[in-house]
Chain A
Amino acid sequence: MRPAIDTSAYGIHASSTASERPAPSAARNPHDTEAPDVVKVLREGDTLDPTTDPRVAPADVLRLYTAMVRLRLIDERLTALQRQGRVGFHIGSLGEEASILGSAFAMRDKDWIFPCYRELGAALLRGMPLQRYLDHMFGNENDPAKGRQMPDHYSWKAGHIASVSSPIGTQITQAVGFAWGAKIKRDELAVLAYFGDGATSSNEFHNGLNFAGVFKAPVVFLCRNNGWAISVPTERQTGSATFAEKGIAYGIPSVRVDGNDILAVIKVTQDAVARAARGEGPTLIEALTYRMSGHSTSDDPRAYRPEAGLEAWKELDPIARLRRHLAPQKLWTEATDAAIEAELEAELKAAIAVAEATRAPSLDSMFDDVFATPPWHLVEQREALKKGPRPKGH
Chain B
Amino acid sequence: MTVMRYREAIRAAMMEEMERDSRVFLVGEEVGHYQGAYKVSEGMLERFGEKRVLDAPITESGFTGISIGAAMVGLRPIVEYMTWNFSAVAFDQILNNAAKLRQMSGGQLTVPIVFRAPNASAKQVGSQHSHAMEHFYAHIPGLKVLAPATPADAKGLLKTAIRDDNPVLFMESETLYNIKGEVSDDPDLLVPMGKANIVRPGKDVSIIAWSRMVHVALEAATELAKEGVEAEVIDVRSLRPLDETTLVESVTRTHRAVVAHEGWPYGGVGAEIADRLQRLAFDELDAPILRATTLDVPMPYNAKLEQHVIPGVARVLENVRAVLYRS
- Which residues of A does B touch, CB under 8 Å? 112, 114, 143-146, 148-149, 153, 155-157, 162-163, 165-167, 170, 172-182, 184-185, 187, 203-204, 206-208, 210-211, 214, 368-372, 375-377
Contact = CB atoms under 8 A, between A and B. Distances in A.
Nearest to B93: A170
Given A176-B69, A185-B73, A203 B62 contact: yes
Contacts of A146: 106-107
Contacts of A153: 104
A20 B141 CA distance: 51
Given A174-B68, A207-B62, 13 more contacts: A155-B105, A166-B96, A173-B63, A173-B64, A173-B65, A174-B97, A176-B66, A206-B62, A210-B57, A371-B102, A371-B142, A375-B241, A377-B241
B313 interface: no
A179 B165 CA distance: 20
Give me the 4 closest cross-chain CB pairs, A-B, nearest first: A207-B62, A177-B69, A173-B65, A181-B70
A346 to B, nearest CB: 28
A370 B103 contact: yes
B72 A162 contact: yes
Contacts of A184: 25, 51, 70, 75
Nearest to B52: A184
A372 B57 contact: no
B108 A170 contact: no
A239 B100 CA distance: 35
Contact of B65 (A163, A170, A377): A170
Interface in B43-64: 51, 56-57, 59, 61-64
B72 A170 contact: no
Contacts of A163: 101, 104-105, 109
Given A155-B109, A372-B165, A375-B241, A174 B102 contact: no
A173 B69 contact: yes
B150 interface: no
B73 A187 contact: yes
B35 to A, nearest CB: 21
6 contacts: A166-B96, A176-B69, A177-B68, A181-B74, A184-B75, A370-B102
Contacts, number: 142
A180 B70 contact: yes
Interface centre among B66, B97, B165, B166 (most CB of A within 10 A): B66
A162 B109 contact: yes
B130 to A, nearest CB: 25
A143 B106 contact: yes
A148 B67 CA distance: 24
B254 interface: no
Interface string B226-244: 0000000000000001000
B92 interface: yes
Interface string B139-173: 00110100000000000000000001110000000
A167 B68 contact: no
Given A178-B70, A208-B62, A145 B141 contact: no
A206 B63 CA distance: 12
Given A176-B66, A185-B75, A204-B62, A170 B97 contact: yes
Contacts of B126: none
A210 to B, nearest CB: 6
Nearest to B92: A167
Interface centre among B69, B74, B106, B108 (most CB of A within 10 A): B69
A170 B100 CA distance: 13
Contact of A178 (B57, B72, B165): B72
B104 A167 contact: no
Contacts of B97: 165, 170, 174
A163 B66 CA distance: 15
A184 B166 CA distance: 21
B110 interface: yes
A177 B166 contact: no
B61 A207 contact: yes
B202 interface: no
Nearest to B110: A372
Contacts of B68: 173-174, 177
A351 B166 CA distance: 35
B300 interface: no
Contacts of A376: 241
B106 A369 contact: yes
Given A203-B61, A372-B164, A177 B107 contact: no
B194 interface: yes
B61 A181 contact: no
Contact of A177 (B51, B67, B101, B110): B67
Interface centre among A144, A204, A369 (most CB of B within 10 A): A369
A157 B73 CA distance: 11
A180 B71 CA distance: 11
A185 B52 CA distance: 11
A380 to B, nearest CB: 11
B16 to A, nearest CB: 20
Contact of A371 (B23, B69, B75, B166): B166
A117 to B, nearest CB: 13
B66 A157 contact: no
B73 A173 contact: no
B105 A145 contact: yes
Given A153-B104, A155-B106, A368-B107, A178 B69 contact: yes
